[in-house]
Chains A and B, each alone.
Chain A
Amino acid sequence: MTFLHHHRWLTPYLLLAPGIAFLVVFFVVPLYYLGYTSLQEGTVQVGYTFTWAWDNYSNAFDQYREQFVRSLEYAGIATVAALLISYPLTYWIAFRGGRWKNLLLLFIIAPFFVTYLIRTLAWQNILSDDGLVVNALQLLGLVAEDGRVLATSTAVIAGITYNFLPFMALPLYVSLEQIDKDLIEAAKDLYASSTKAFLRVTLPLSMPGVIAGTLLTFIPAAGDFINAELLGTPNQAMIGNVIQSKFLEITDYGQAAALSVILMVVILLLIVVYTRLVGTERLAG
Chain B
Amino acid sequence: MTTAAETQPLPRRSVSPLSRAWAFVRRHTITVFGLLALAYLMLPIVVVIVFSFNDPAGRYNYTWEGFTTAHWTNPFGPPFLGDSVETSIKIAFVATIVSVILGTLVALALVRYHFRGRGTTNLLIFVPLTAPEIVLGASLLTLFLNLGTALGFWTIVLAHIMFCISFVVVTVRARLVGFDRHVEEAAMDLGANEYVTFFRITLPLIAPGILAGALLAFSLSIDDFVITSFNSGTTETFPLYVWSQAQRGVPPEVNVIGTLIFGVAIVLMLANVLFQYRRTPKGAE
Q: Which residues of A are in contact with B by a Cβ distance under 8 Å?
A: 9, 11-13, 15-16, 18-20, 22-24, 26-31, 33-34, 36-37, 85-86, 88-89, 91-93, 96, 102, 104, 106-119, 121-123, 125-126, 128, 162, 165, 194, 215-216, 219-220, 222-226, 230, 240, 243-244, 247-248, 253, 256-257, 260, 263-264, 267-268, 271, 275, 280-281, 283-285
B135 touches A267 (CB 8 A): yes
**Contact at A15–B266, with CB atoms within 8 Å?**
no
What chain B residues lie within 8 Å of A116 (beta carbons)? 223, 225, 239
Does B124 touch A at the CB level, under 8 Å?
A: yes
Do B254 and A118 touch across chains, with their CB atoms under 8 A apart? yes
CB contact under 8 A between A88 and B105, given known A126-B47, A260-B134, A285-B173: no
Q: Determine how close the nearest CB of chain A comes to the CB of B171; give it in whole angstroms.
A: 8
Whether B121 pairs with A16 at a CB distance below 8 angstroms is yes
Contact A27 B265 (CB under 8 A): no
The docked-state distance in angstroms from the alpha carbon of A36 to that of B146 is 9
**B residues less than 8 Å from A108 (CB atoms):** 38, 41
Picked from A9, A111, A125, the residue with its CB within 8 Å of the CB of B41 is A111
Q: In whole Å, how far is A16's beta carbon from the nearest beta carbon of chain B?
A: 5
A–B pairs, 24, beta carbons within 8 Å: A12-B109, A12-B113, A19-B106, A23-B162, A30-B142, A33-B139, A33-B146, A34-B142, A88-B30, A92-B33, A93-B34, A96-B34, A104-B38, A113-B262, A115-B239, A115-B242, A116-B223, A118-B255, A118-B258, A122-B48, A125-B51, A126-B44, A256-B138, A275-B123
* Per-residue A-contact encoding for B251-285, CB less than 8 Å = 1, 0 else: 00011001101100110011001000000000000
Q: In the assembled complex, which residues on chain A have CB atoms less than 8 Å from the CB atom of B118?
A: 280
Asked whether B250 is an interface residue with its Cβ less than 8 Å from the other chain, the reply is yes
Decide: B124 and A113 in contact? CB cutoff 8 A. Answer: no
Q: How far is the CB of B62 from chain A (nearest CB, A)?
A: 6
> Could you tell me if B269 and A243 are in contact, using CB atoms closer than 8 angstroms?
no
Instruction: Tell me what chain A mostly uses at the interface: helix, strand, loop, or mixed.
Output: helix
Option from A92, A248, A260 in Cβ contact (under 8 Å) with B229:
A248
Known contacts A34-B139, A118-B254; decide if A284 and B45 are in contact (CB<8 Å): no
Name the residue of chain A whose CB is nearest to the CB of B124: A23
B126: chain A residues within 8 A (beta carbon) = 271, 283-284
Please tell me if B73 contacts chain A, counting CB pairs below 8 Å. Answer: no
Q: Give the residue of A20, A113, A123, A267 whose beta carbon is less than 8 angstroms from that of B261.
A: A113
Which residue from B37, B141, B166, B259 sits with its C-beta under 8 Å from A88?
Answer: B37
B contacts with A: majority SS: helix
| Residue contact A283 to B223, C-beta cutoff 8 Å | no
Task: Confirm or deny: B230 has a beta carbon within 8 angstroms of a beta carbon on chain A.
Answer: yes
Task: Report if B140 contacts A (CB, 8 A).
Answer: yes
Question: CB-CB contacts of B95-127 with A at 8 A, as 1s and 0s?
Answer: 000000111011011101111001101111111
Contacts of A27 in B (CB 8 A): 124, 127-128, 136, 139, 162
Residues of A within 8 Å of B123, CB to CB, are 275, 280, 283
Judge whether B139 and A220 touch: CB under 8 Å: no
Q: Give the residues in chain A near B255, CB-CB below 8 Å.
A: 118
Contacts of A223 in B (CB 8 A): 131-135
Interfacial chain B residues near A31, Cβ < 8 Å: 139
- CB contacts (< 8 Å) of A122 on chain B: these are 44-45, 47-48, 51
- Please determine whether A20 and B106 come into contact, CB atoms closer than 8 angstroms: yes
- Decide if B258 touches A114 in the complex (CB within 8 Å): yes
- Which of A11, A92, A225 lies at the interface centre, i.e. has the most chain B CB atoms within 10 A of its CB? A92
